[in-house]
Chain A
Amino acid sequence: MQAEFAPQVLDQAIYWLVKTQSGAAEPQVFTACEQWRAADPAHEAAWQALQMTETTLRQASVLPARVALDTLAGSARLRSRRQALKVLGLGMLGAGAGALALQQQPWRSFAADYVTRVGERRAFNLLDGTRLQLNTDSAADVLFTGQQRLVVLRDGEIFIRTGQDSAATSGRRPFWVHTREARLQAIGTAFDVRQESGRTRLMVEEGVVAIHLPQGRPVRVQAGSEYLIDAGSAQPQSASTFIANGWASGVLMARQMRLQDLAQELSRYRHGWLQCDPAVSELRVSGVFQLDRIDHALEGLSQSLPVRIQRRTGLWTRIVAA
């Protein structure tokens, strides 16, 4: 669903909400916020849209604050990634297998240790306690020796949460991920690595990952940062339009994403062609898309944007102007 205000208005509304809730805001801040809200009906609409969350949170205030806080901190802890995936793992057989059995690169399934088909996502516990998750259409090798732990990403995308390696006899072994472009050293971390055409995308969720390039000093990437690495350099990315590791929870989260980019991203998860007509490719989309229900998500687009979905046989889908 698209709200009826521009993205920059949403940005401004968020700015004012952040400023007025600091607990130390001067009266002028509140006055300026009031003036901003009054200046344009769209401003007020955006402000009200944000209040829906505030209202939901206030409903928890009948509880002693500590109880609400402990519950919501605890629920996140209890619902660890591992458990969530166990539930989401149901989707692997359900959504993926019904589709066409097009194997794009059949050699991979023989060559690599860990493989997923299009539309499939899988998770593995490695011997050192590491959690390895493979996104759609991905392949990786796991090569552990007495001295080091190495994961080779052959294609697609992985999310790794490194383990304690407590069983190792000579202390914790270094953990490496190799892609076509880079060698990445994980330093007690959770991170996402994606092999794209001619480049590697790295998103660090926790801890630090060091990028080792053929030349120069390693680049240390901190939690929350995203980098694109090509043959010679590593560049930080600031304005990502989707959350890189949402897939690990079964969703694609878009923030003002170009429709063209969204279509391309969604097409990774399904068979057949998914194309976006140039006339609508620049439309912006925000939302959360269930990766197991992509056709449902596409139908949703036609309700929120001036587009419709054109299908020819099961193989060919186009997003065109309504």
Chain B
Amino acid sequence: MSPSPPNSALLHTDVHSLYSDHHGWLVNWLRRRLRDTDNAADLAQDTFLYVLGKPEQVAYLREPRAWLSSIAKGLLIDRFRRQKVEQAYLLAIAHLPEQEMPAPEQRLILLETLTRIDALLDGLKPNVRTAFLLSRLEGLGYQAIAERLGVSVSSVEKYMATAIRHCFLARHAL
């Protein structure tokens, strides 16, 4: 938050000059790393779209290239996550009977939700992640989860507490 918001004409100039000064550099930077020209151009475009939503940061920018590349990197990691979730989703529905298959027009919104959950759970140990998902998605009780995972009920309680805290912290990430 800036103390006194700069006027919008100024912002427009800032973003415009940021684009003309650094867009070419960013595309090159990404191309060297992705070894893929199309994706690089695409990602650079997304990066500037994101920047348009953060005009107050543009005005006080000290290291524009470091900032742009860190945004691009964040977007790339998001894309990577989304792609993996989508692959896993396609694998998961591959063997469903036709009538249980989610409608294709639902797919985007479902993937959005699943990606968000995936991001929330990121970093949890496999057992903790599985226990939490069995509880919340399958509605299993702790006894059943304990049997499924071959651990004690008190371990399951610990897993739950770990997962709940983890998700809370992930939401409150800086």
Q: Which residues of A contact B (CB under 8 A)?
A: 1-3, 10, 14-15, 17-18, 21-24, 49-50, 52-54, 56-79, 83-84, 87-88, 90-91, 93-95, 98, 205, 224, 243, 246, 249, 251, 253, 255, 286-290, 292-293, 296-297, 300-301, 303-304
> Chain B residues near A21 (CB, 8 Å)?
135, 160
19 contacts between A and B (CB under 8 A): A10-B165, A53-B167, A53-B171, A57-B136, A60-B113, A60-B137, A68-B114, A69-B133, A69-B138, A75-B87, A76-B121, A79-B80, A94-B73, A246-B123, A249-B123, A287-B169, A289-B173, A297-B174, A301-B174
- Most A Cβ at <10 Å: residue of B110, B137, B160: B137
- Is chain A's interface secondary structure helix, strand, loop, or mixed overall? helix
Q: Is B168 touching A50 in the complex (CB atoms < 8 A)?
A: yes
B81 at the interface (CB under 8 A from A): yes
Q: Is B120 touching A10 in the complex (CB atoms < 8 A)?
A: no
With beta carbons under 8 angstroms apart, the residue of A3, A22, A56 that contacts B113 is: A56
Take A67-B93, A255-B169, A288-B174 as given contacts and tell me if A72 and B121 are in contact as well, using a CB distance cutoff of 8 Å: yes
Q: Which residues of B contact A (CB under 8 A)?
A: 1, 29, 33, 63, 65-66, 69-70, 73-74, 76-77, 80-81, 84-85, 87-89, 91-93, 96, 100, 102, 106, 110, 113-114, 116-118, 120-123, 125-126, 129-130, 133-144, 157, 160-161, 164-165, 167-174
| Docked complex Cα distance between A60 and B171 (Å) | 18
Q: Is A79 touching B161 in the complex (CB atoms < 8 A)?
A: no
> Chain A residues near B135 (CB, 8 Å)?
21, 23
Q: Is A64 touching B96 in the complex (CB atoms < 8 A)?
A: yes
Q: Is B137 touching A69 in the complex (CB atoms < 8 A)?
A: yes
| Docked complex Cα distance between A255 and B69 (Å) | 28
| Docked complex Cα distance between A84 and B113 (Å) | 21
> Chain B residues near A289 (CB, 8 Å)?
173-174
> Chain A residues near B87 (CB, 8 Å)?
74-75, 78
Q: Is B88 touching A286 in the complex (CB atoms < 8 A)?
A: no
Take A22-B142, A91-B73, A94-B70 as given contacts and tell me if A286 and B93 are in contact as well, using a CB distance cutoff of 8 Å: no
Q: Is B161 touching A18 in the complex (CB atoms < 8 A)?
A: yes
**Taking the nearest CB of chain B, how far is it from the CB of A198, in angstroms?**
30
Q: Is A18 touching B73 in the complex (CB atoms < 8 A)?
A: no
Q: Is B125 touching A224 in the complex (CB atoms < 8 A)?
A: yes
With beta carbons under 8 angstroms apart, the residue of A56, A98, A243, A301 that contacts B63 is: A98
